[in-house]
């Protein structure tokens, strides 16, 4: 199966993750997809193929000669809850002409709003019908890894060491590394194929935390509410606007951190706010967490202790401190890209990958492009040459290692 057909098959599986189920994997579609992948990995000739009860896949490409380190390639099976991943309808725009693309009636992928698409003029591009995300994050990464492994199995004249493959669930809800067995994986280092545009190579990411704020109110009839009603929604709004207006995703870039309100649900009696907190700098990251706690205390002083409660948990940290001692793995990836005609674009991730947490668990794991654009969006698209280049980079890393 070629890489395009493989990817198109993968996006037919609905693997949207859900942080509210408490299950592992969080949704049944991920396990269904995992079972399909296990059979595919066996059919192309990988060995030691395993699927555990938590939905984690591991497999081996055996070495053709000794004396090489063991390296790994990792991608995640789930897609983001930010947009629907059910009933994805991909289509290929052949030789993109540089104009707007009508995805379906009234839904347009605009070159003015998304000017990056002009870089892919004259290329074949996979798009959606504008009603779901595509799933290139990270099914493109899986397709690239599987196709690269199949190529190496079919070309035994290319000498290489042992390669390990790993596919994880629930990366999009910050749980992809929760049950990843680094010791069983047994690699000296690995790469996640989970970046964006062609050429991206990343070994810096946000420090990340998730925060849930609960506001407790009192509801009585509005006609007799004087000095009795406590409207939790108004209190929640008051707290939200106390955060710096410009420190949000839509107003930050590069190394700038932010507070991101990702969910609100409320009535007069009870309101919840869900935030994610991000910053590349660890000290500023900790300061952001303290600021939210300070604002909760401030609101409680006004409305009474216990009116507002906060729960916060760290999700992952900046992998840079774990990669810098082993920068040869970055140099290797750069050389592989350059050998297939790609200029490496080393940049910080304004997000995170499984590799961030795995790096802190003893598996250095920088991130390589998967090729897609507009991830987590109905306007997501995937230039086919970018996906093919990512596959070639994998092969070259293995050859050069």
Interval 9-15 mean pLDDT? 98
* Rounded distance between C-alpha atoms, residue 355 and residue 366, angstroms: 6
CA distances (Å), origin 296, targets 142, 247, 262 = 42, 18, 18
pLDDT reading at 351 higher than 90: no
Can you tell me the distance from the alpha carbon of 355 to that of 100, in angstroms, rounded to the nearest whole number?
Answer: 35
Give the helix/strand (H/E) hosting 267. none
Sign of the C-alpha dihedral, residues 27, 29, 35, 37?
A: negative
Residue 142's nearest CA partner among 350, 376, 371 is: 371
pLDDT of residue 53: 97
The string of DSSP codes covering 170-182 is -GGGT-TTTT--H
The mean pLDDT of 282-286, rounded to a whole number, is: 96
What's the CA gap between 29 and 128, in Å, rounded? Answer: 20
Is the peptide bond between 25 and the residue preceding it cis, with omega within 30 degrees of 0? yes
Tens digits of per-residue pLDDT, 209-238? 999 999 999 999 999 999 999 999 999 999
Higher-pLDDT residue of 316 and 116 is 116
Tokens 């990366």 map to which residue? 171
Average pLDDT estimate for 304-321: 94
| Domains of the chain as residue ranges with CATH | 3-205+318-400 (3.40.630.10), 207-315 (3.30.70.360)
Q: Predicted confidence band at 353 (pLDDT cuts at 50, 70, 90)?
A: confident
pLDDT at 185: 98
Cβ–Cβ < 8 Å for 368, 192: yes
Judging by DSSP bridges, how do beta strands 345-346 and 200-202 pair with one another? parallel
Mean per-residue pLDDT, 182-201: 97
pLDDT at 188 over 90: yes
Q: Choose the weakest-confidence range: 57-61, 128-132, 248-252, 313-317.
A: 313-317
Q: What is the pLDDT of residue 171?
A: 94
Q: Give the closest residue to 121 by CA, choosing from 96, 102, 93, 92.
A: 96
Mean pLDDT of 103-111: 96
Tokens of 146: 């599987």
Give the span between the Cα atoms of 346 and 342, in whole angstroms.
Answer: 12
Helices (H), 157-201: 182-185
How far apart CA 23 and CA 17 sit, in angstroms, is 10
Q: How confident is the model at residue 174 (pLDDT cuts 50, 70, 90)?
A: confident
Buried b (16+ CB within 10 A) or exposed e, 99-115: eebebeeeeebebeebe
Is the distance from CB of 7 to CB of 140 less than 8 angstroms?
yes
% residues pLDDT > 70 (the chain): 100
Contacts of 206 (CB under 8 A, 6+ apart): 257, 278, 279, 280, 285, 316, 318, 349, 350, 351, 352
Helices marked H in 304-383 — which ranges? 320-323, 328-339, 354-360
For the CA atoms of 383, 387, 388, 389, what is the dihedral angle to 10 degrees? 100
Give the span between the Cα atoms of 377 and 85, in whole angstroms: 10
Query: Mean pLDDT over residues 118-124, rounded?
Result: 98
Query: How many Å apart are CA 16 and CA 29, to the nearest integer?
Result: 8
Phi-psi region of 34 (alpha: psi -120 to 50; beta: other; left: phi over 0): alpha
- Looking at residue 349, its pLDDT comes to 87
* pLDDT averaged over every residue in the chain: 96
Please state, as a whole number, how many other Cβ atoms lie within 10 Å of the Cβ of residue 49.
Answer: 18
Q: Which run of H or E residues covers position 398? A: helix 384-400
Q: Which residues are catalytic?
A: 78, 171
**Angle between the 136-154 and 28-44 helix axes, to the nearest 10 degrees?**
20
The pLDDT of residue 400 is above 90: yes
Mean pLDDT of 72-76: 98
Q: What integer pLDDT is reported at residue 116 of this predicted model?
A: 97
Q: What ranges make up the beta strands (E) of 246-398? A: 258-266, 270-279, 308-316, 345-346, 367-369, 382-383
In the predicted model, is pLDDT for residue 323 greater than 90? Answer: yes
Percent of the chain clearing pLDDT 90 (strictly above) = 96
Contact 366, 320 (CB under 8 A): no
**pLDDT at position 75, please?**
98
Residue 339: per-residue pLDDT: 97
Give me 57's structure tokens.
């896949």
pLDDT at res. 158? 94
Residue 233 near residue 303 (C-beta atoms within 8 A): no
């Amino acid at each position: 199966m070629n890489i395009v057909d493989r990817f198109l098959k993968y996006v037919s599986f609905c693997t949207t993750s859900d942080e509210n189920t408490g299950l592992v994997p969080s949704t049944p579609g991920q396990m269904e997809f995992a079972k399909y992948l296990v059979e595919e990995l066996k059919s192309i000739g990988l060995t030691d193929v395993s699927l555990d009860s938590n939905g984690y896949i591991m497999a081996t490409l055996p070495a053709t000669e000794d004396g090489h380190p063991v390296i790994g390639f990792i991608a995640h099976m789930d897609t983001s809850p930010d947009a629907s991943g059910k009933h994805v309808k991909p289509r290929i725009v052949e030789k993109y002409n540089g104009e707007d693309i009508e995805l379906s009636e009234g839904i347009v992928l605009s070159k003015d709003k998304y000017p990056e698409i002009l870089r892919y003029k004259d290329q074949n591009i996979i798009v959606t019908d504008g009603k779901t995300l595509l799933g290139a994050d990270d099914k493109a990464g899986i397709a690239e890894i599987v196709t690269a492994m199949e190529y190496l199995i079919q070309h035994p004249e290319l000498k290489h060491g042992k390669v390990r493959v790993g596919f994880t669930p629930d990366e999009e809800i910050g749980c992809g590394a929760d049950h990843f067995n680094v010791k069983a994986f047994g690699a000296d280092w690995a790469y996640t194929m989970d970046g964006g545009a062609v050429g991206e190579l990343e070994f810096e990411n946000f420090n990340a935390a998730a925060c849930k704020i609960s506001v407790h109110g009192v509801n009585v009839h509005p006609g007799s509410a004087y000095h009795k009603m406590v409207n939790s929604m108004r209190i929640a709004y008051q707290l939200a606007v106390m955060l710096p207006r410009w420190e949000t995703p839509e107003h930050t870039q590069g190394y700038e951190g932010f507070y991101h309100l990702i969910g609100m649900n409320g009535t007069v009696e009870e309101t919840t706010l869900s935030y994610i907190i991000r910053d590349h700098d660890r000290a500023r990251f900790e300061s952001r967490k303290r600021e939210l706690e300070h604002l909760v205390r401030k609101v409680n002083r006004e409305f009474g202790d216990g009116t507002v409660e906060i729960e916060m948990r760290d999700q992952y940290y900046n992998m840079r401190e774990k990669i810098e001692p082993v920068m040869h793995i970055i140099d290797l990836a750069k050389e592989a890209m350059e050998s297939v005609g790609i200029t490496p674009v080393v940049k910080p991730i304004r997000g995170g990958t499984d590799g961030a947490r795995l790096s802190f668990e003893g598996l250095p794991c920088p991130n390589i492009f998967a090729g897609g654009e507009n991830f987590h969006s109905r306007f997501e698209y995937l230039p086919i040459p970018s996906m093919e280049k990512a596959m070639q980079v994998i092969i070259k890393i293995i050859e050069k290692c």
